[in-house]
Structure 1
Amino acid sequence: MEEQLLYYAIKYQGNFNQIYKAVTKNEPINKNELTKMKDALTCSYTTILSKDYPTRLKEIDSPPFVLFYYGDLSLCNRDCISMVGMRACSDYGRKMALSISFNLAKKGKVIVSGMAKGIDAYSHLGAMKGQGKTIAVLGSGIDYCYPKENLSLYQLLKGEHLVISEYPGAMIPKKECFPIRNRIVAGLGEKLIVVEAKQRSGTMITVNFSLNQGKDIYCVPNRIGEYDGCNRLISQGADILVDVEDLF
């Protein structure tokens, strides 16, 4: 059954609904095609039926049937904290992402983010500077680095940390892939930190996933009149984060 799930995941390019339909109909597989698919893989993979599948992801809505990955999958089972925020972040947001992830890494926490430019990238970098570990969840195929400007970061993460995706090969990301992958970013973290955000953004999609999963939300406050997504979340009941000790 694990190979059957792999076949569906590659055939349907990680599309959850199409894979689900194939599973429920017990759609037959082509063994020759499956062999070619496996031979073409350059990454590792795990399925929801595998022993090493991340435990936390089994608890979320629509858990990926298959995860493709490079690096140390066991990082998913350590103490993980998710960090998200704006792509076009301010200098303040950059500094806060670097500082928070650095200090959390020093405390042994694994930082989970989406490897987008801006807050995501700085969260990964801060964790590495703190001699810690970090996990990148892609919205593209596991072999497709997006954005291209993060290629050096992508290579570092593949070799020394963990890069995962429910999308196989070099699949070019579609607009709808990024909101969908945010359920994984939220699912892997025990808590979610929002560093900087607009009120309407992809970051808020991750916040909603985290809330639905019963996670605590922590927000870095910002000046009134600037990017006020965090301040709005705080006013609605999210915890305020002024020091990493606030998390504990």
Structure 2
Amino acid sequence: MNKNADNTELTIWLRLHLAYLSAKQVRRVSDHLGGVSQLAYTSHSDWLQVPNITEKQADAFFQVDETLIQQALDWVQQPNHHIITLEDDAFPELLREIADPPILLYVRGDLGLLKSPQLAVVGSRHASRQGLQIAEDFGAHLSQVGLCITSGLAHGIDAAAHRGGLKGQGQTLAVVGTGLDRIYPAANQNLARQIAEQGAIVSEYPLGTRPLAQNFPKRNRLISGMATGCLVVEAALKSGSLITARQAMEQGREVFAIPGSINNSLAKGCHQLIKQGAKLVESAQDVLEELAPLVAFSWDNNTTKPETSSPDLVPDQSTHPLLEIMEYEPISLDELVVMTKMAASDIQAQMMILELGGQVESLSAGRWRRI
């Protein structure tokens, strides 16, 4: 919520939040009593006239600890600290559409990232070395072409995906299961600081909320809900990542899974997802090919897209710098690095875009040819 907005309305939203009312309940109360802004003038008896609102829920609204409200109002006055509600323009559209959206979000960092095109990347906390490298590589490549990499700041795949996201212009967004005045796990303090400075950290939980086990499965619906698609890198059969993937499927998101050895227990969850309809992917390009139409729509219509987004992201450029130096004979990545003085990762990211636009084709041994 805008820091210059009337604190009265934010106070009402915080009271609703701290009373643990769901979005459906808030809409019911708001519709019946004349809007959220009017709740400051309602009585306990008014609430009891609202259909399907119990006396206990009415009590909760009127008995919220005022010190908790003041704590949140003080917190939001700090630089790059935001509290946005379900009715704010900054609230992510995709998240607003899920069955049980949060009624408000605490955000530390770049608020604009919440409405940027996002890919959720999740997986095992006890990932293999290969899995960690894959997550970081996918995160870096897809962030480089403008996707925001969204994950949960956990050990393993989450942290690797965030590190990759920080390398590209799409950046990264962490959805946590604690209050934003706490970082969990503590080992990710430095990573969290980087994300807050370059990307954003988001929570639906009040300040002071400890890392309770029941919070993390619930927050997973936000990870999938804000994203256009969900990529599972490594997951055992009983992994929490499968919860996120199933929620993504229920929310109508694209779900991707990376296969592995049949002898690897961390591949079994991914294989199960593939059997259930998730798309098998072997490269970042596989993900981008599926998401490109949806992401292009988001870029075209997102008025808050990052300044780092540029026309280079659009795949139909006929005068792309790389095309100008390419011939119709195969050319390797090493040759392009020498000729352009660009970083190899930047070239690969741009080649994915050109390939999607039908202007180049990928050949074996890391080579491309202009079409």
TM-score (norm 1): 0.90
- Once the two structures are TM-superposed, the CA of residue 75 in structure 1 deviates from its matched residue by 0.8
- Once the two structures are TM-superposed, the CA of residue 28 in structure 1 deviates from its matched residue by 3.6
Correspondences of 1:40-59 after superposition (within 5 Å): 40-41=75-76, 42=78, 43-59=81-97
TM-score (norm 2): 0.62
The superposition leaves residues 117-137 of structure 1 with CA deviations (integer Å, 9 ceiling, x where unpaired) of 100000000111234411000
- Structure 1 gaps, min length 5: none
Within 1, Cα distance between the matches of 2:24 and 2:277? 37
Greater Cα shift, 202-211 or 225-234: 225-234
- Once the two structures are TM-superposed, the CA of residue 73 in structure 1 deviates from its matched residue by 1.6
2:194 counterpart of 1:177: no
SS of the residue corresponding to residue 202 of structure 2 reads: strand
Moved over 2 A (4+): 15-37, 39-43, 129-132
SS of the residue corresponding to residue 224 of structure 2 reads: helix
2:226 counterpart of 1:218: no
Match of 1:199 in 2: 237
- Once the two structures are TM-superposed, the CA of residue 23 in structure 1 deviates from its matched residue by 7.5
Within 1, Cα distance between the matches of 2:64 and 2:21? 20
Structure 1 residues 236 and 23 mapped into 2: Cα distance closer, same or farther (>3 Å)? closer
Structure 1 residues 3 and 210 mapped into 2: Cα distance closer, same or farther (>3 Å)? same
Structure 1 residues 8 and 219 mapped into 2: Cα distance closer, same or farther (>3 Å)? same
Match of 1:148 in 2: 186
Within 2, Cα distance between the matches of 1:235 and 1:32? 51
Match of 1:87 in 2: 125
Task: Figure out how many residues of one structure are paired with residues of the other and give that number.
Answer: 245
Within 2, Cα distance between the matches of 1:100 and 1:38? 38
8 A Cα contact 2:22 2:103, kept in partner: no
SS of the residue corresponding to residue 166 of structure 2 reads: helix
Q: Which has the higher contact order (CA 8 A, sep 6+)?
A: 1
| Counterpart residue identity of residue 3, structure 1 | T
Structure 1 residues 122 and 154 mapped into 2: Cα distance closer, same or farther (>3 Å)? same
Q: Percent identity?
A: 31
| Counterpart residue identity of residue 252, structure 2 | G
Match 2:206 to one of 163, 168, 178? 168
User: Which structure would you say has the larger Rg?
Assistant: 2
SS of the residue corresponding to residue 224 of structure 1 reads: coil
Structure 1 residues 36 and 123 mapped into 2: Cα distance closer, same or farther (>3 Å)? closer
2:135 counterpart of 1:100: no
- Once the two structures are TM-superposed, the CA of residue 236 in structure 1 deviates from its matched residue by 2.4
8 A Cα contact 2:259 2:280, kept in partner: yes
SS of the residue corresponding to residue 112 of structure 1 reads: strand
SS of the residue corresponding to residue 183 of structure 1 reads: helix
8 A Cα contact 1:8 1:19, kept in partner: no
2:46 counterpart of 1:8: no
Match of 2:284 in 1: 244
Correspondences of 1:130-141 after superposition (within 5 Å): 130-141=168-179
